[in-house]
């Protein structure tokens, strides 16, 4: 009698237990999905719907002073393929009348067509495809332009589904070698040389990323775009360089460099009142579009900044300014100048060409570029005092530009000079400077004794428009205005009465210049050889100095005197005066006695 209710209770209990167990399973599963695996599952589902894409922050431009692009970023495309899916395909070709025909294409035919479009090599592509037939990725051609990209894209859309594309940011230098020595270039591992490298913090852009969700047909769902990281384009670096003057200057030194068989040449044009570099030319120079064409690694940068050389007689202008400033000499200080001079320690110096003993003033010594003469007057100033002046002229430190590869060591301390070196430094031997340093000396003389740091960069304009100008700099007074102005007047005698007067004179303008034919020390340290650095440094117009031009040729083979540099100096200075519309001089140069 009791069995029936008991079994009923049992059944009920069992059913309840099963229900509870089921509910428990569900709860556990729910907790597992909703809590434990939630993040992973969410990510999986996101991945199915969500597309992540890179937004590009392109590298900024380097521009000339007028905004002309010297280095710019362009978009290029890499064509890639999935070797695993590379198979013969049927493509739909549309002819001119809109007729569609289906054509079978083998893999080779596809590659041949891609090669024709892009100018790549079909063999290389085939090799890339067959290297790992199971791979999902292989580069076919890198860096094709937009026209080729569109043509290949049409090919893909017509049925070659295993072709893919990648966007790539590439660097282009529309003006080729014009200022290529300054801009430097960017390699696959980033900026390699020049301003591209030193100003990378201004130029570099940052790629961003964004995600969006897409529907089954690939169309972006409205409102689903989430920017995960903002792309920041690089800033624009504006230089002080004038593109046309730079070209003209490079052309001028290249012509003359070839004509006299020089190894290399540099030219610098600097504005006196600001210290801005309007042109810094090197020959030979790199074409940053194709760096491989430059065989000599030394030609990749700017030798005007990086190459140290003993400047020679252009230094006498500075020595004269020191003497005037320290009161040790006046423009008419007299010296009896023989052809050569021997010293108690066994050293001997002599002038460039033989001459009978002459009675010259300091002005005459500069005019004739007499080594003996400058040593006779210069010895009144101690080595330490001359060294201190050189430091004030900025010769023992890199230029304010901070160009890549500038020599860090300038003029050696006076305490390390031996007696002969002390004499030699008066006429620019035994000390090494760069062309920029020589330009800086003449800028100081032209700017009434105040040296301004050389400036190559006008400023950096960030993508958001904020301009970071080059830091404001204060000038350094090196010599007194009288000393500087008088030195400029003395240097006019070089142009009006010196050996190179025909080549140096610019009709209508008063030009102050100093030639230099410096001996080059042999590489093995055994004294001076027959190699020369010929140069001319000068200022115009002399009555109100506006522009400095320094031209130098290293190791000329056919003409080893400054006569080789003078015509090029003249050509560049004429161009500068014409370009910046400097009015011709109205007053004659002051007549300073050159002999006594």
Beta strand 89-94 with 100-105: parallel, antiparallel or unpaired? antiparallel
* Distance, CA of 122 to CA of 110 (rounded, Å): 9
Cβ proximity to another protein: between 283 and 315 the closer is: 283
Beta strand 467-469 with 476-477: parallel, antiparallel or unpaired? unpaired
Q: In angstroms, what is the minimal distance from the CB of 194 to another protein?
A: 16
Cβ proximity to another protein: between 279 and 411 the closer is: 279
Cβ proximity of 221 and 214 under 8 Å: yes
Q: What are phi and psi of 537, to 5 degrees?
A: -125, 135
* Distance, CA of 577 to CA of 584 (rounded, Å): 9
Q: In angstroms, what is the minimal distance from the CB of 255 to another protein?
A: 5
Cβ proximity to another protein: between 287 and 388 the closer is: 287
Cβ proximity to another protein: between 126 and 287 the closer is: 287
DSSP-assigned letter for residue 206: B
* Distance, CA of 222 to CA of 214 (rounded, Å): 9
Helices (H) and strands (E) in the chain — how many of each? 19, 25
* Distance, CA of 240 to CA of 188 (rounded, Å): 28
Q: In angstroms, what is the minimal distance from the CB of 410 to another protein?
A: 31
Q: In angstroms, what is the minimal distance from the CB of 146 to another protein?
A: 5
Cβ proximity to another protein: between 412 and 546 the closer is: 546
Classify each residue of 462-474 as buried b or exposed e, where b means 16 or more C-beta atoms within 10 Å of its C-beta. Answer: ebeeeeeebeeee
* Distance, CA of 276 to CA of 546 (rounded, Å): 11
Cβ proximity to another protein: between 193 and 360 the closer is: 193
Cβ proximity to another protein: between 558 and 586 the closer is: 586
Q: Where are the beta strands (DSSP E) in 448-581?
A: 450-451, 457-461, 467-469, 476-477, 512-521, 528-540, 547-554
Q: Which residues contact 287 (CB under 8 A, 6 or more apart)?
A: 173, 176, 177, 180, 293, 294
Q: Which residues contact 99 (CB under 8 A, 6 or more apart)?
A: none
Q: In angstroms, what is the minimal distance from the CB of 295 to another protein?
A: 13
Query: CA 473, 474, 477 angle in degrees (round to 5)?
Result: 145
The residue written with tokens 């014009």 in the block is: 178
Q: In angstroms, what is the minimal distance from the CB of 564 to another protein?
A: 16
Cβ proximity to another protein: between 173 and 389 the closer is: 173
Q: Which residues bind another protein (CB under 8 A)?
A: 68-69, 72, 74-75, 145-147, 172-178, 215, 219-222, 243-244, 247-248, 250-251, 254-255, 258, 283, 285, 287, 289-290, 293, 507-509, 571, 574-575, 578, 583-584, 586
Q: In angstroms, what is the minimal distance from the CB of 148 to another protein?
A: 11
Q: In angstroms, what is the minimal distance from the CB of 584 to another protein?
A: 5
95: left (phi over 0), alpha (psi -120 to 50) or beta: beta
Tokens standing for 392?
């004030």
Q: In angstroms, what is the minimal distance from the CB of 549 to another protein?
A: 15
Cβ proximity to another protein: between 267 and 324 the closer is: 267
Distances (CA, A) of 33 to 19, 108, 294, 470: 21, 50, 63, 59
Tokens standing for 180?
């290529």
Cβ proximity to another protein: between 529 and 583 the closer is: 583
Q: In angstroms, what is the minimal distance from the CB of 251 to another protein?
A: 6
Q: In angstroms, what is the minimal distance from the CB of 220 to another protein?
A: 6
Cβ proximity to another protein: between 34 and 557 the closer is: 557
* Distance, CA of 446 to CA of 443 (rounded, Å): 5
Cβ proximity to another protein: between 193 and 400 the closer is: 193
Q: Which of 78, 322, 348, 315 is nearest to 188 (CA)?
A: 78
Q: In angstroms, what is the minimal distance from the CB of 501 to another protein?
A: 15
């Amino acid at each position: 009698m009791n069995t029936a209710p008991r079994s009923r209770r049992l059944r009920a209990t069992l059913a309840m237990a099963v229900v509870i167990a089921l509910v428990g399973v569900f709860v556990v599963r729910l907790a597992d999905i909703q809590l434990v695996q939630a993040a992973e599952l969410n990510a999986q589902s996101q991945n199915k719907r969500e597309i992540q894409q890179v937004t590009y922050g392109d590298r900024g431009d380097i521009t000339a002073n007028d905004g002309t692009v010297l280095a710019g970023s362009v978009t290029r495309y890499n064509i890639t393929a999935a070797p695993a899916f590379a198979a013969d395909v049927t493509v739909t070709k549309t002819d001119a009348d809109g007729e569609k025909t289906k054509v079978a294409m083998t893999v080779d035919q596809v590659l041949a067509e891609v090669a024709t479009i892009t100018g790549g090599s079909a063999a290389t592509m085939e090799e890339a495809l067959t290297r790992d037939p199971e791979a999902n990725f292989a580069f076919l051609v890198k860096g094709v332009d937009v026209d080729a990209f569109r043509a290949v894209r049409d090919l893909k859309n017509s049925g070659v589904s295993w072709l893919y594309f990648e966007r790539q940011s590439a660097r282009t230098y529309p003006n080729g070698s014009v200022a290529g020595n300054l801009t430097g270039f960017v390699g696959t591992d980033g900026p390699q040389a020049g301003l591209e490298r030193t100003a990378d913090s201004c130029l570099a852009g940052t790629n961003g990323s964004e995600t969006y969700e897409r529907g089954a047909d690939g169309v972006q769902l409205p409102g689903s775009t989430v920017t995960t990281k903002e792309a920041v384009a690089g800033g624009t670096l504006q230089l002080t360089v004038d593109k046309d003057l730079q070209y003209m200057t490079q052309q001028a030194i290249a012509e003359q460099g070839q004509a006299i068989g020089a190894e290399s040449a540099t030219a610098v044009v600097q504005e006196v009142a600001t210290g801005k570099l309007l042109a810094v030319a090197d020959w030979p120079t790199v074409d940053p579009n194709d760096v491989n064409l430059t065989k000599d690694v030394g030609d990749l940068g700017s030798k005007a900044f990086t190459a140290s050389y003993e400047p020679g007689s252009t230094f006498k202008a500075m020595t004269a300014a020191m003497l005037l400033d320290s009161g040790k000499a006046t423009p008419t200080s007299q010296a009896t100048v023989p052809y050569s001079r021997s010293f108690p320690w066994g050293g001997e110096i002599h002038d460039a060409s033989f001459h009978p003993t002459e009675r010259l003033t300091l002005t005459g010594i500069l005019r004739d570029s007499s080594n003996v003469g400058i040593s006779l007057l210069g010895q009144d100033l101690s080595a330490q005092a001359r060294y201190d002046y050189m430091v004030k002229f900025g010769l023992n430190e890199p230029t304010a530009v901070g160009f890549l590869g500038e020599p860090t060591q300038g003029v050696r301390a006076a305490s390390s000079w031996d007696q002969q070196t002390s004499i030699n430094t008066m006429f620019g031997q035994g000390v090494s400077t760069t062309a920029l340093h020589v330009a800086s000396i003449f800028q100081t003389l032209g700017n009434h004794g105040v040296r301004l740091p050389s400036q190559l960069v006008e400023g950096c304009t960030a993508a958001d428009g904020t301009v970071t100008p080059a830091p404001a700099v204060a000038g350094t007074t090196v010599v007194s205005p009288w000393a500087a102005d008088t030195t400029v007047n003395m240097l006019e005698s070089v142009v009006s009465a010196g050996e190179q007067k025909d080549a140096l004179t610019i009709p209508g303008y008063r030009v102050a210049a100093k030639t230099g034919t410096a001996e080059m020390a042999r590489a093995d340290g055994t004294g001076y050889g027959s190699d020369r650095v010929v140069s001319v440094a000068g200022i115009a117009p002399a009555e109100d100095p506006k522009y400095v031009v320094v031209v130098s040729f290293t190791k000329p083979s056919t003409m080893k005197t400054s006569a080789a540099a003078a015509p090029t100096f003249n050509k560049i200075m004429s161009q500068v005066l014409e370009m910046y519309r400097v009015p011709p001089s109205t007053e004659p140069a002051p007549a300073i006695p050159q002999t006594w």
